[in-house]
Structure 1
Amino acid sequence: MLISIFFISGFIRYYQSLYQYAFSDHSHPTYPIGARALLMIMSLGTAFILHFMGYMVHNDALMFHNIGLFLLVFPLLDAAINKLELLIRLAGAVSVWFMHHNMHFDRPQFVISLVLLAFGVILMRKYPRQIRDNIWASLALFAYIAVIFWALLPPYAEHPQDAIWITVQAVTMFLGMAWAASLLWIRQYTEDANNARMKQLANYDQLTNAKTYSLYQHDVTHMFNEARENNQPLTLVSLDIDHFKQINDHYGHLAGNAILISVASKLGDVLSKYGRNHQIYRTGGEEFNVVFYGQTPADIRPIIVECWDTIRKNKFTYQDFDVTITISLGVTAMRTTDHSIDDTYKRADDNLYLSKHAGRDTITIEGETMHNDAQHELVATYTFFTQAIMHVTDLDHTNRHRSELLLRMYDHEHDRWVLPELFDISVETQIDLMRKALANSPTRRLAINLTNAQFIDQSVALALTQFCNSEDGPDELTVEITDVPDMVTTRNITAIYRAGGIRIDIDDVGSDNSFELVQHLLPYVDGVKFAMQNLRHNNDEAMLQERIRFWADVAQEHGLTFILEGVENAAEVTFAHDTLGIDLFQGYYFDKPQLPSL
């Protein structure tokens, strides 16, 4: 009995750990299948080996047969097995039943034992958790199985009293194994449940049951690194609930909490239809992130459209209120230029911002926003308007020297293009927009404006130089900066641009950028631009001409190109060209910023 209890204890510990692994949620579908197959092989294989050993020995036959029987009966309580697994396990138990009744199938005890076994199996399948997780229910069931097996066997002893004594020994041994197995299983189950509860508390948001931000940081960094190492795509979706503060203010925070729970549940229902590789995380008050490993934005577009459409078509009920909810989404894919998941996340967040500013209740994928009225049509949210910088030999002979690209954002509410509130779009979006502008531009010489943060970012500089030197890049690219950085930063960053063949101009000299501010930076740039429109209101014509003359002389002294911006009439062009020798102009006299024909 001690040997059987020790054997069963070791078996149960290993069986339970394998059981937990087999029926846990794994991202790789083949791992649980292999573990489930191993469970059956381990129990059935070990049981049959023990039974055959029982036939080969004499003194210890009872122990071998009893342990083998237990190994066949105990796995029938596995609640998560499917019908095929149940049939295979039942076939193993019934075959041993037949083996022990061999040549005595005509005895009524054989039929009675099979009927009683069927009844026991029905109980086990109907109440598996109640039996396995309660020691008294387990002992009662296993006592029942031991009695119907041992008491109804064909004669196996010369004297009836010996058979009764052997049956008592067998049932007692079987109960000892059941007692040890149940204690171990319940103890381990309780420990696993506590660990799972602690993990749930640590990793899952208690309100929505979505994964927490801390787990998001861990998981998404791991997935980013794995995707990059395995050359796999990775798509990140940022979404949040529109006008959530108004919902809290109007209906109260309890209603807000109820809506958060419902939204997370609906999103989870949609995602679960498409497999187990889609992880949803609550990363802010009303903000969620979904990670799609191994899929591109094109792959997941039907999924996120269904998520978006499901939320907007559902009525969310709280007490007597029916609340209509919409969500905005931003979608981006991991790119080879991303150094960390933060780069990918920033683009997803930028795209979410575009959805918000496009009127909410919409999806933006890589800078292109879905119309609400045409739910599956994506249109540009950002674009570059172009304005010519003209080379003038005289008033009758002008040609387009380069095109300045001016960022605009589409205002869906008023159906118009406007200056964006956010100019810090990703460099990838800028390059995509430049490609579109080049396809419809009369010149392949371009100038773009960068914010200070963009200009001093080495990753931006490297991406622009790589694009500039690519086959589909411009013939010449000039970067215009308004907010000039400090001397050390300028010297370091301009080295990257100039090594890549990109020109650098300082914009708005004489107004936003005084001579004192920029004089030490002039050796590191290629040109300056004087904006007349910034000074017209506070300077008369003579003063304005004097300022232009000063900056034209500065540019000539330092060997820089000089562009006069904001010209509005022929007289200004004549003065600047004939008197000061200026030949690069920009302004309404030539053209206004306009959307290229797309």
Structure 2
Amino acid sequence: MIFKIVAVSYMASLIANTVLLLGGVSLIMWIKREPMTNFIGKHKTLLSCIMGDALIILAYMQLWVNQNAATTLVGFHWTYFNVMLVATFNLLIYTNNRWQMLYTLVGTAIWPLTGKVTVPLVLGTLGLLVVTYFIYCVTDRIMHSGLLYTVLFIIYSAIWLAMTNDMFGHQSRPAWGRQIAALIVLNLVVFGYYQMLKSQLDRMDTFRHQAQVDELTNAHTFAMFNEKLADAFTQFQQDGKLYAVFTLDIDHFKRVNDTYGHLAGNKVLTAVAHQIEHVVESGQYAGQVYRTGGEEFTVILHDIREDDQEAETMLRTVQAAVGTLMFTFDGQQLQVTISLGGTHVYTEDTNYLQVYKRADQYLYDSKRHGRDAVTLRGRTLAR
């Protein structure tokens, strides 16, 4: 009968602790990788530490209650001690934060004070402090080495178990077997679950990057452009901050592909996108470059002044930067030109697409005027 009670209690505790730890891992990973609000995104490291430490404190409180309320310390009720140990070790690694490291050091130094202070406890504490700091220093290596992770967990756990056994008395070999087996299972489950989640989230990040960034030119995609243009229009309606939209198209680009091949065309696209990006980054206004068509790029500049001279300077700078590019294909030199159209948002605009449609119309006005031209707010500028 006693065996059945111990077995059922052991399995129930193991399952409950596994669920508790996996829930904690899921919550921390969500905070770190999927912030749904600006507050969470700004404070995700702090929140991860708080959530993890709250789990450790909860386990310690339950451990303390069990130790002081139980009449028979079968296995010392170390099921919650296992939770504390696994959570502390993995939180130190996965948060990779100095404040978490300092918190762990402080908690490690205070723990022996809960029992009778002895020389072995003092030596064990000093050893734990050294191991804890070492883990923090080599966190990046641990994340990429299962062997190093395993070795450090064994050392960390062995010191903790020896210290706790010395503080609360010795237990039987079967109890030790249950204790160590549960500890191994819990940490393997946490390690495996974390790796699985990380792999899935990394794939999601890859898909998100592919959806947001054009692989060839490294400019943002049309989907991102559509989203950011809508955001800019909403922001304009709320606070009146102006934004500008510039569209540009490489002149006679089909001729480049037909004459020199698509690889040559790809090289031209990449170089042009790089030049536009360089001009935008060097300008006085925050902006992004988007690939909105085969050879068409669009720029959004935020929080601008309504100044035609500034806008003209920006457009002509982009035009001149692209004009400096020189390509050599099949022994022949090639220089490309671009046509541009630019405008800014107006109070009369009723939806975000009107700004883009206007800029796109001005781009085609430049093409109708012989290409290699700039049309700004409906007026094609002199060359």
TM-score range, shorter chain: 0.7 to 0.9
How far 1:146 sits from its partner (Å)?
2.0
Secondary structure, in 3 states, of the residue corresponding to 1:37?
Answer: helix
Any stretches of 5+ residues in structure 2 without a counterpart? 1-13, 68-72
Rounded to whole Å, the distance in 2 between the matches of 1:359 and 1:31 is 52
**8 Å contact kept, 2:93–2:135:** no
Q: 1:2 and 1:285, CA in 2 relative to 1: closer, same or farther beyond 3 A? A: same
- Cα-to-partner distance string for 1:558-582 (whole Å, 9 max, x where unaligned): xxxxxxxxxxxxxxxxxxxxxxxxx
Q: Provide the residue aligned with 2:91 in structure 1.
A: 75
- Cα-to-partner distance string for 1:531-588 (whole Å, 9 max, x where unaligned): xxxxxxxxxxxxxxxxxxxxxxxxxxxxxxxxxxxxxxxxxxxxxxxxxxxxxxxxxx
Q: Provide the residue aligned with 1:2 in structure 2.
A: 15
How far 1:88 sits from its partner (Å)?
0.2
Q: Provide the residue aligned with 2:237 in structure 1.
A: 228
- Matching residue's letter, 2:111: H
Paired residue for 1:122, among 137, 141, 152?
137
In our comparison, the structure showing a higher alpha carbon Rg is 1
Rounded to whole Å, the distance in 1 between the matches of 2:330 and 2:338 is 22
Answering whether residue 127 of structure 2 is matched by residue 112 of structure 1, we say yes
What TM-score comes out, normalization by structure 2 length? 0.73
What TM-score comes out, normalization by structure 1 length? 0.50
Answering whether residue 359 of structure 2 is matched by residue 348 of structure 1, we say yes
Rounded to whole Å, the distance in 1 between the matches of 2:316 and 2:141 is 41
Rounded to whole Å, the distance in 2 between the matches of 1:236 and 1:120 is 50
Q: Provide the residue aligned with 1:282 in structure 2.
A: 291
- Matching residue's letter, 1:67: V
Rounded to whole Å, the distance in 1 between the matches of 2:184 and 2:357 is 62
Rounded to whole Å, the distance in 2 between the matches of 1:90 and 1:315 is 54
How far 1:147 sits from its partner (Å)?
2.5
Q: After superposition, where does 1:327-346 map in structure 2 within 5 Å? A: 327-346=338-357
Rounded to whole Å, the distance in 2 between the matches of 1:336 and 1:271 is 25
Rounded to whole Å, the distance in 2 between the matches of 1:219 and 1:138 is 42
Count residues with an aligned counterpart.
357
Q: 1:121 and 1:195, CA in 2 relative to 1: closer, same or farther beyond 3 A? A: closer
- Cα-to-partner distance string for 1:305-346 (whole Å, 9 max, x where unaligned): 776665555666889988655544332111122233343123
Any stretches of 5+ residues in structure 1 without a counterpart? 370-380, 382-409, 413-598
**8 Å contact kept, 2:285–2:304:** no
Answering whether residue 26 of structure 2 is matched by residue 13 of structure 1, we say yes
More helix by share: 2
Q: Provide the residue aligned with 2:10 in structure 1.
A: none
Higher RCO (CA < 8 A, seq sep 6+): 2
- Matching residue's letter, 1:112: G
Paired residue for 2:157, among 146, 154, 170?
146
Rounded to whole Å, the distance in 1 between the matches of 2:379 and 2:106 is 65
Rounded to whole Å, the distance in 1 between the matches of 2:184 and 2:198 is 20
How far 1:51 sits from its partner (Å)?
2.6
Rounded to whole Å, the distance in 2 between the matches of 1:349 and 1:258 is 24
- Cα-to-partner distance string for 1:234-257 (whole Å, 9 max, x where unaligned): 321212334534433453210211
- Matching residue's letter, 2:125: F
Answering whether residue 177 of structure 2 is matched by residue 177 of structure 1, we say no
Rounded to whole Å, the distance in 1 between the matches of 2:336 and 2:27 is 49
Rounded to whole Å, the distance in 2 between the matches of 1:315 and 1:169 is 73
- Matching residue's letter, 1:147: A
Q: 1:43 and 1:214, CA in 2 relative to 1: closer, same or farther beyond 3 A? A: closer
- Cα-to-partner distance string for 1:275-331 (whole Å, 9 max, x where unaligned): 997443322111011234554565985877776665555666889988655544332
Of stretches 33-42 and 209-218 in structure 1, the one that deviates more from structure 2 is: 209-218
More strand by share: 1
Q: 1:92 and 1:194, CA in 2 relative to 1: closer, same or farther beyond 3 A? A: same
Secondary structure, in 3 states, of the residue corresponding to 1:73?
Answer: helix
- Cα-to-partner distance string for 1:117-153 (whole Å, 9 max, x where unaligned): 333333323342x25xx6x775555344323432355
- Cα-to-partner distance string for 1:343-379 (whole Å, 9 max, x where unaligned): 312321244346557786675543567xxxxxxxxxx
How far 1:181 sits from its partner (Å)?
2.0
Rounded to whole Å, the distance in 1 between the matches of 2:167 and 2:314 is 66
Rounded to whole Å, the distance in 1 between the matches of 2:318 and 2:56 is 50
How far 1:42 sits from its partner (Å)?
1.1
- Matching residue's letter, 1:9: L
Secondary structure, in 3 states, of the residue corresponding to 1:285?
Answer: coil
- Aligned sequence identity (%): 22
Rounded to whole Å, the distance in 2 between the matches of 1:199 and 1:279 is 17
Answering whether residue 63 of structure 2 is matched by residue 63 of structure 1, we say no
Of stretches 59-68 and 233-242 in structure 1, the one that deviates more from structure 2 is: 59-68
Q: 1:65 and 1:248, CA in 2 relative to 1: closer, same or farther beyond 3 A? A: same
Secondary structure, in 3 states, of the residue corresponding to 1:237?
Answer: strand
Q: 1:368 and 1:105, CA in 2 relative to 1: closer, same or farther beyond 3 A? A: farther
